[in-house]
Amino acid sequence: MASEKSELRIYNSLNGEKEIFKPLKEGFVGFYVCGPTVYSFVHLGNCRTFISFDMVYRYLKHLGFKVRYVRNITDAGHLENDAEEGEDKIAKKARLEELEPMEIVQQYTINFHETLSKFNNLPPSIEPTATGHIIEQIEMVKKIIDNGLAYESNGSVYFDVEKYNKDNYYGELSKRKIEDLISGTRSLDGQNEKKSPLDFALWKNAKPEHIMKWPSPWSIGFPGWHLECSAMSTKYLGEQFDIHGGGMDLKFPHHECEIAQGTASTGKKPVRYWMHANMLTLNGKKMSKSTGNTLLPDELFSGENDVLEKGYDPIVVRFFMMQAHYRSTLDFSSEALNAAEKGFSRLMEGLDLLKTLTTSESSSQDVNSLIDSFYAAMNDDFNTPILIAKLFDAVKYIQNVKNGTATISKQDKKILEQKINEFTFDILGLKKINEGKSSNLETVMELVLQMRQKAREEKDWDTADAIRDKLNEAKITVKDDKEGVTWKAE
Ligand code: AMP
Ligand code: ZN
């Protein structure tokens, strides 16, 4: 029996090593991923990170873990340029579009959900919002102040990085040294409120023109951007939990600050395994909203963008992403997508062919070890490109059985079909393209082929020829061989 029990190893960004995954509570996994700031359409780079973690979620579930997957919606507190001063990204968009901030939030949250479901992403177990957890954030600030690691200044509250660093290591995740950080900081507006330029805001006193603000013990203001993830992960997953994910660009300062906030408020390191997904690039540069170097999912599906030759199905795009390891950068290009489209069809054809195979007494290939290789790939830090290579090994074997140069037993055919389907659909999250449409087509084709057969039996060559010509016109080819009639639509 193929064993999924061999251990799952996860590359932990904290120490740069692949570690055997052991959850805090056997059988359960607490999993947190930083969600989007909903002030604009998600671009394909954002989608890659969320698709990577969807694959992680799917595999953990496949292994039998009961996973609580929390992914937040940032709907307040994220200031322009990820800085400590400036306008709230959502409030700014609301001002420009003359809408309520919550109208902006609603519009882009809906778009985010619709987009991810096109990519066949599963929804998280809980999707909390920053504005829905202001009280929890205020409570966390109070704890950090009580523990002596934050201070109030002019109605704002700052985290005391240098004091924290005396007993802890601020920079442990991003491997930075506090001395280098200090010498690298610039003088910024509002810095005079801080003891040190490294200190970051837990709570900000709102200027009169700031519209998204709440009462607190210190001022009418708003939480610092890093705080929401600490408050919400603690609320739903506990003071310590198993896995925290996010894009590589969030390591510093966002995740570094999350570690500091969690440790300062509870005395415990909040996260056991930190996972970081790498960037999608376009023309070799990070896809990023701020530089305008982006591609929107809808442009990709419709093909309406200069960098594209044509439109692509979201599932082909997902397959393209799965062909790269989540920790590698991935460069987007039309050529790469065209190749992915071909590869995806080949995999789907292999799966269809498997159903039609005639079985033999025994198998000419060790099917269990083939299946073991699927698990080995995924257990090695979710190595989807290796998994896909192994799935193609299986497709080659299936083709060989079909053309008579290999054999498969009934038992092996059954287990291979089950596992190849699980890995392709449940774990990689792929699905058949145009499934609904193709089943309609299948029904119609069944009828057409019956009529063609009847015409041939009755030697009604005119009708048989007319059917053939019409099918050719529709780019459907029909083949008659020993095993019967097969057809293929282009
Ligand atoms: P944001 O809405 O800006 O907070 O970003 C949402 C998520 O997308 C974060 O986890 C980012 O790290 C991630 N992200 C942003 N740009 C890219 C990119 N080019 N490739 C992959 N992930 C990205
Ligand atoms: Zn976060």
pLDDT tens digits along 131-143:
999 999 999 999 9
Q: How confident is the model at residue 2 (pLDDT cuts 50, 70, 90)?
A: very low
Mean pLDDT within 344-361: 97
Which ligand has the minimum distance to the alpha carbon of residue 254?
2
Mutate to test the pocket of ligand 1, among 34, 82, 249 (most ligand atoms within 8 A of CB): 249
For 19-33, 226-240, 302-316, which range has the lowest pLDDT when averaged over its residues? 302-316
Q: Are 141 and 202 in contact (CB under 8 A)?
A: yes
Cα 297 to middle of ligand 1, angstroms? 14
Q: How far is 420 from 141, CA to CA, in rounded Å?
A: 49
User: Which ligand is the nearest neighbour of the Cα of 289?
Assistant: 1
Torsion of CA 162, 167, 168, 169, to 10 degrees: 60
Evaluate if residue 275 carries a pLDDT over 70: yes
User: Is it the case that residue 3 has pLDDT exceeding 50?
Assistant: no
* Helices (H), ranges, 267-333: 297-302, 314-322
Backbone angles phi, psi at 380, to 5 degrees: -90, 70
Other CB atoms within a 10 A radius of the CB of residue 220 amount to: 13
Closest residue by CA, ligand 1 atom 9: 247
Q: Higher-confidence residue: 478 or 274?
A: 274
Instruction: Determine the Cα–Cα distance for residues 275 and 18; give it in Å rounded to an integer.
Output: 11
Reported as half-sphere exposure (CB side, CA atoms, 13 A), residue 65 has a value of 25
Q: Per-residue b/e over 364-403, b at no fewer than 16 CB within 10 Å?
A: ebebbebbbbbbbbbbbbbbbebbbebbeebbebbbebbe
**Residue 112 pLDDT more than 80?**
yes
Ligand 1: residue whose CA is nearest its atom 12: 247
pLDDT score for 475:
84
Mean pLDDT of the chain, nearest integer: 93
The pLDDT of 314-341, averaged and rounded, is 96
Q: pLDDT-based confidence at 439, cuts 50/70/90?
A: low
In the block, tokens 């083709």 appear at 399
- pLDDT tens by residue, 360-395: 999 999 999 999 999 999 999 999 999 999 999 999
Residue nearest to atom 11 of ligand 1 (CA): 247
What atom of ligand 1 comes closest to residue 78's alpha carbon? 4
| Percent of the chain clearing pLDDT 90 (strictly above) | 77
State residue 274's pLDDT score: 98
pLDDT, position 429: 98
Mean pLDDT calculated for residue range 421-429? 98
Closest ligand relative to 228 C-alpha: 2
Structure confidence at residue 204 as a pLDDT band (50, 70, 90): very high
Residue 344: CA atoms inside 13 Å, Cβ hemisphere, count?
A: 25
Residue 322 has, within 13 A of its CA and on its CB side, a CA count of 32
**Could you tell me the strand order of the sheet in which 28-33 lies?**
66-71, 28-33, 241-247, 271-277
pLDDT at 166: 97
Beta-bridged to residue 288, according to DSSP, are 293
User: Which range among 11-20, 378-387, 437-446 shows the weakest confidence by mean pLDDT?
Assistant: 437-446
Could you tell me if 156 and 203 are in contact, meaning their C-beta atoms sit under 8 angstroms apart? Answer: yes
The closest ligand to the CA of 271 turns out to be 2
Q: How confident is the model at residue 438 (pLDDT cuts 50, 70, 90)?
A: low
Look at 476 and 170; give whichever has higher pLDDT: 170
User: Looking at the predicted structure, is the pLDDT value of residue 313 above 50?
Assistant: yes
Residue nearest to atom 6 of ligand 1 (CA): 36
Other CB atoms within a 10 A radius of the CB of residue 185 amount to 11
N residues, the chain = 490
Residue 483, pLDDT above cutoff 80: no
Higher pLDDT, 79 or 392: 392
Ligand 1, atom 8, lies closest to the CA of 46
Helices (H), 63-200: 89-97, 101-118, 134-146, 161-167, 178-184
pLDDT tens for each residue of 137-193:
999 999 999 999 999 999 999 999 999 999 999 999 999 998 888 877 765 555 689
* pLDDT confidence of residue 446: 83
Task: Give ligand 1 pocket residues (Cβ under 6 A).
Answer: 34, 36-37, 45-46, 48-49, 246-247, 249-250, 279-280, 286-288
Mutate to test the pocket of ligand 1, among 41, 49, 74 (most ligand atoms within 8 A of CB): 49
pLDDT at 1: 36
- In percent, the amount of the chain with pLDDT more than 70 equals 96
**Probe target for ligand 1 pocket from 32, 34, 44, 46, with the most ligand atoms within 8 Å of CB:** 46
**Rounded distance from Cα 280 to ligand 1 centre (Å):** 9
* Three-state secondary structure call for residue 220: coil
Mean pLDDT of 461-468: 90
When mean pLDDT is compared across 241-250, 336-345, 431-440, the lowest value belongs to 431-440
Q: Mean of the pLDDT values across residues 235-256?
A: 97
Q: Are 160 and 150 in contact (CB under 8 A)?
A: yes
Span from the CA of 35 to the centroid of ligand 2 (angstroms): 7
Q: Minimum-distance ligand to the CA of 332?
A: 1
CA-286 nearest atom, ligand 1: 19
Q: Which atom of ligand 1 sits closest to the CA of residue 46?
A: 8
Lowest model confidence (mean pLDDT) among 4-13, 46-55, 212-221, 266-275: 4-13
Rounded to whole angstroms, how far apart are CA atoms 200 and 82?
12
Tell me the C-alpha distance between 356 and 352, whole Å. Answer: 7
Q: How confident is the model at residue 87 (pLDDT cuts 50, 70, 90)?
A: confident
User: From CA 479, how far away is CA 463, in angstroms rounded?
Assistant: 17
244 three-class SS: strand
Of all protein residues, the one whose alpha carbon is nearest to atom 17 of ligand 1 is 45
Provide CB contacts within 8 A for 147, sequence distance 6+. 264, 265, 267
**How high is the pLDDT of residue 181?**
86
Whole-number pLDDT of residue 255: 98
Spell out the alpha helix ranges (H) of 277-333. Answer: 297-302, 314-322
Report CA(226)–ligand 2 centroid distance (Å). Answer: 6
Structure tokens at 425: 């659909």
Ligand 1 centre and the CA of 29: distance in Å?
24
Closest residue CA from atom 15 of ligand 1: 46
Rounded distance, CA 104 to CA 98, Å?
A: 10
Q: What are phi and psi of 428, to 5 degrees?
A: -75, -20
